[in-house]
Amino acid sequence: MRRFLAVFFCILLCGCFRTDTAPEISTGTDRMQLDYATQFEVALRKDGCAEIFIGDDRFLLVPKDMTAPETDMTVIQQPVKNIYNAASSSLDLFDGLGRLGDVTMCSTKYEDWSLPAVRDAMDSGSLKFVGKYSAPDYEQLTDCGLAIESTMIYHTPEVKEKLSSLGIPVLTERSSYESHPLGRLEWIKLYGLILGIPDEAQSYFEKKKAVFTSVTAANPDGDKPKTAFFYIAPNGYVIIRKPGDYVSEMIRLAGGEYLFDGADLGFDENALSTANIQFEVFYEYAADADILIYNSTIDRDTDTIAEMIEKQPMLADLPAVKSGKVWVTEQNMFQQTTGAAEMIADLATVFNGSGEDLTYLKKCG
């Protein structure tokens, strides 16, 4: 019956995967070793430069004190300072490297940050808000060494054109569209390379990978709790993550079973990470859920069962709600990209029947 219920889609986090055509790598280069990331590639040249490929964009990273060779690629000259960050999910990677100070401008307001280190930087004045990604204050960007944009910049191409006309290289980052949660984290290798500290980035990634490995190795065999991850939009529709998205992948890696199946719901194979479905469709699936996780990072006004039921009274009839197996995300779940392994550990703890010592989830009261 599910196949015949109406299903509607909307874009909350839009992005494109890289093209299937492999980039043309210069001769005499070595590729950066990537374990999980698929949204960028790096070729390390013998002359000390690095070629960076993100979708159809090509960049040439040129070492300090070296004149850029003639190229049709966008040049990023080291040292890279006064970075403008308009992709909030990547800022935590700079903090993980201890180089948050290299990012001096952002497009997210103070009150929209959940990361203490970022708020501290804004309090001290070392990091300042310079306007939305779609309307930055260009006068404050004149000394910018690199602009890091999310794929939202595709909706305002004139902004990218203006930044480029000012001589600012524009890197559109796609870490949010990695299917594996450690793929998002692996972008730290790219930023470490750009900042001139590739070894530190590699070391950081390996430590986090070890945490991930220990968690997934400890997953018990047997029944996997069926889990729904969702929030209710103001129009009454339910927003879910699509199967294959990194959130559904975290649930699987932690020992759970993501409730929504792309084949049953008729999801198209595209780059969209979320789907907007009618509540009746959600309810039919959620009736089988062992655990519900409400995404309060989007719907910040809802973090209790009573508030959820106020938005949609039929939630009260769900078995997971009646048994109190409802969790909400903490506000730092998506902005703290470096916490991917710990997020999986939190989910594993919940799936194993405990609710203590969690960082990114909390029991819904």
Query: Are 158 and 242 in a shared domain?
Result: no
pLDDT at 221: 62
Please indicate, yes or no, if residue 23 is contained in any of the structural domains. Answer: no
Residue-wise pLDDT tens digits, 340-361: 899 999 999 999 887 677 888 9
pTM greater than the 0.95 cutoff: no
Question: Last residue of a domain, which of 197, 212, 227?
Answer: 212
Residue-wise pLDDT tens digits, 54-105: 999 999 999 999 999 999 999 999 999 999 999 988 999 999 999 999 999 9
Please determine, for residue 267, whether its predicted confidence score (pLDDT) is greater than 70.
no
Q: Is 272:14 a contact under the CB 8 Å cutoff? A: yes
Q: Which of the residue ranges 3-12, 134-143, 333-342 would you say has the lowest mean pLDDT? A: 3-12
Question: Predicted confidence band at 4 (pLDDT cuts at 50, 70, 90)?
Answer: very low
Q: What is the token pair recorded at 162?
A: 């203006």
Side-chain-facing half-sphere of 114: CA atoms under 13 Å? 16
> Strands 50-54 and 41-45: what pairing?
antiparallel
Please indicate, yes or no, if residue 206 is contained in any of the structural domains. Answer: yes
Query: Are 133 and 223 in a shared domain?
Result: no
Please indicate, yes or no, if residue 232 is contained in any of the structural domains. Answer: yes
Distance CA 339, CA 36 (A): 16
- What is the four-CA torsion angle of 7, 10, 11, 17, rounded to 10 degrees? 30
Query: Are 107 and 231 in a shared domain?
Result: no
Query: Are 47 and 191 in a shared domain?
Result: yes
pLDDT at 202: 97
Please indicate, yes or no, if residue 19 is contained in any of the structural domains. Answer: no
Question: Last residue of a domain, which of 157, 178, 212?
Answer: 212
Residue-wise pLDDT tens digits, 168-211: 999 999 887 788 989 999 999 999 999 999 999 999 999 999 99
Please indicate, yes or no, if residue 22 is contained in any of the structural domains. Answer: no
Please determine, for residue 9, whether its predicted confidence score (pLDDT) is greater than 60.
no
Please determine, for residue 270, whether its predicted confidence score (pLDDT) is greater than 80.
no
Facing residues of 93 across strands?
Answer: none
> Strands 50-54 and 274-277: what pairing?
unpaired
Residue-wise pLDDT tens digits, 109-162: 999 998 999 999 999 999 999 999 999 999 999 899 999 999 999 999 999 999
Question: Last residue of a domain, which of 212, 234, 250?
Answer: 212
Residue-wise pLDDT tens digits, 297-309: 887 778 889 999 9
Query: Are 184 and 165 in a shared domain?
Result: yes
Please indicate, yes or no, if residue 294 is contained in any of the structural domains. Answer: yes
* 343 dihedral zone (left: phi>0; alpha: psi -120 to 50; beta): alpha
CA angle 10, 16, 22 (to 5 degrees): 160
Q: DSSP for 61-115, please give it.
A: EE-TT-PPPS-SSEEEESS--SEEEE-HHHHHHHHHTT-GGGEEEESS-GGG---
Please indicate, yes or no, if residue 21 is contained in any of the structural domains. Answer: no
Please determine, for residue 7, whether its predicted confidence score (pLDDT) is greater than 50.
no
Distance CA 182, CA 175 (A): 10
Please determine, for residue 21, whether its predicted confidence score (pLDDT) is greater than 80.
no
- Tell which residue, 182, 180, 200, has the closest CA to residue 339: 182
Residue 332: give the domain boundaries: 2-14+219-363
- Tell which residue, 192, 274, 201, 288, has the closest CA to residue 238: 274
Please indicate, yes or no, if residue 109 is contained in any of the structural domains. Answer: yes
What CATH number does the domain containing 166 carry?
A: 3.40.50.1980
Query: Are 178 and 223 in a shared domain?
Result: no
Query: Are 207 and 256 in a shared domain?
Result: no
The mean of the pLDDT values for the chain is: 87
